[in-house]
Amino acid sequence: MQQEASPPSAGRDNAARLPSRFTVHLFAGMAATVGQRSVAIQPQEPTVAGLRAALEETFPAIEALLARSAVAVNGRYAAADVFLEPGVEIAVIPPVSGG
Amino acid sequence: MGDVTLSHGPLDTGFLLAAVASEAAGANVLFTGTTRRTTGDQTTEWLDYEAYEPLATTELNALRRAAIAQFGLTGCALAHRLGRVAVGETSVAVAVSAAHRREAFAAASWLMDELKRRVPVWKHEVGSAGAFWVHPAGEASPAPGDQPQGGGDEPAQ
């Protein structure tokens, strides 16, 4: 029996795969709260949703702002189910205030 | 400055307006947003802007293309300043030209609404209320596939 919940796989055996590590760019109030402009995150599930969960777990102080933030993958706003390929550029986009 | 600019120095708004001029244009509108001293009873000393520059450039280009198509513009240029912007200085500029003024005014207004809604730029305010990043409450960031909103801003026929 597995100790950890494993993500549903599309016909692939993920049991032997280690979670990938991603660099996540942070901005504005998010970067100020964390105290860093980028962080390394190793989500259990390599998706945008998995990344959000891992960020929240690692930095509980950003929970409220993260809930109002978008995630961009390779320069495009990305939905929760988007799969994160190794090496993609990831950024958390808190509510914007340009103008 | 090109059609879409993120600038770490002062914006040349005269250049922007000249860049959209053409013989097809009968109306030219320049909007500039400047750092305001007072908001209610609070005073502002300066603003510092930062952007996620690759995505901001992509979004500004998408807004420019959408505005040209939606309002039938003959010219469109967008610029946002980054870094410190003192009171009275310009942080954002939109220049548009069209055959007639109605489309030009509508397009400039629509572009500013969408820019403030979608483009990943943030302001850090320093003033009597302290120093803080501005993340407007009640507004979530753009969702994926969330396109520029045409909504009720269609130009009059």
- Full DSSP string of B32-93: EEEB-SEETTEEEEEEEEEE-HHHHHHHHHHHHHHHHHHHT-SEEEEEEE-EEEEBTSEEEE
Q: What is the overall mean pLDDT for chain B?
A: 91
Instruction: Name the one residue in this structure whose structure tokens are 């801003």.
Output: B153
Query: Each residue's pLDDT tens digit in chain A (99 positions)?
Result: 444 444 444 445 454 567 899 999 999 999 999 999 999 999 999 999 999 999 999 999 999 999 999 999 999 999 999 999 999 999 999 999 999
Distance CA B136, CA A97 (A): 7
By residue range, what is the domain housing residue B45? 4-133
B101-118 helix and B53-71 helix, angle to the nearest 10 degrees: 150
* B58 within domain boundaries: yes
B63 to chain A, any CB pair closer than 8 A? The answer is no
**Superfamily for A22-93?**
Beta-grasp domain (3.10.20.30)
State the pLDDT confidence band at B146, using cuts at 50, 70 and 90: low
In the A/B pair of chains, how many CB contacts fall below 8 A? Answer: 101
Number of domains in chain B: 1
Terminal Cα-to-Cα distance of chain B (whole angstroms): 32
CATH number at residue B26: 3.90.1170.40
Does residue B144 carry a pLDDT above 80?
no
* B83 within domain boundaries: yes
pLDDT digits (tens, 9 = 90+) for B67-86: 999 999 999 999 999 999 99
Give CA separation, A10 vs A7, A13, A54, A73, in Å. Answer: 10, 9, 22, 21
* B31 within domain boundaries: yes
Chain B closest-CA separation from residue A59 CA (Å): 18
Q: Is A28 in Cβ contact with B124 (below 8 Å)? A: yes
* B141 within domain boundaries: no
* B139 within domain boundaries: no
pLDDT digits (tens, 9 = 90+) for B93-137: 999 999 999 999 999 999 999 999 999 999 999 999 999 999 998
Distance CA B45, CA B88 (A): 10
Q: Is B119 in Cβ contact with A97 (below 8 Å)? A: no
Contact indicator for B123, B49 with CB cutoff of 8 Å: yes
Does residue B153 carry a pLDDT above 50?
no
Q: Is B120 in Cβ contact with A27 (below 8 Å)? A: yes
Nearest CA in chain A to B140: A68
Q: Which positions in chain A have a beta carbon within 8 angstroms of at least one beta carbon in chain B?
A: 25, 27-29, 32, 65, 68-70, 72, 75-79, 82, 89, 91, 93-99
